[in-house]
Amino acid sequence: MSQPTRSTTVTRGPHQWLALLVGAVFLVIGIVGFFITGFEGWTEHDHSQTLLGFAINPAHNVVHVLVGLLGVVLWRTASGARTFGWLLVIGYGATFIYGLFVVDNPDANFLNLNWADNWLHLASVVAGLVIALWPRRRDVATGADR
């Protein structure tokens, strides 16, 4: 006698898809950035090295790749996506504040930030808040948060 099978379809919440999208964009930007900067001058302050108007250097590219990988890995579960959201809020909130102080100081600007970067970092904080604070829904079948 065979057992009835239960559907194991996983429904992802909008915050999870946003985490995946943000992660994928950061990952692609980080990889493409290396085609522009190469692998030398890791912390060089050179605003001529830009990607879509955003200043980059190899260290900045590594940050983008790591953030992207986190998003691509953590999006799969509701709690993982929320964790990624909070990491964006904390990490890019700190980077935004750091950028305000170093954007015009080449000696302290090891990530080669410009004003466009600062505004993008603030937008990343907002995206992180949306991901982290998206309203929770209870899955009636499993009792899990979505």
Radius of gyration of the chain (CA): 19
User: 76 φ, ψ to 5°?
Assistant: -65, -30
What does the alpha-carbon distance between residue 57 and residue 51 come to, in Å, rounded to a whole number?
10
pLDDT in tens, 100-128: 999 988 889 889 899 999 999 999 999 99
What does the alpha-carbon distance between residue 142 and residue 71 come to, in Å, rounded to a whole number?
24
Q: What was the pLDDT predicted at 5?
A: 56
Beta bridge partners of 54: 51
Distance between alpha carbon 145 and the CA centroid of its chain, in Å?
22
pLDDT in tens, 22-76: 999 999 999 999 999 999 888 887 777 888 889 898 999 999 999 999 999 999 9
> Two tokens at 79?
């709690």
Provide the whole-model pTM: 0.82
Confidence of residue 16 (pLDDT cuts 50, 70, 90): very high
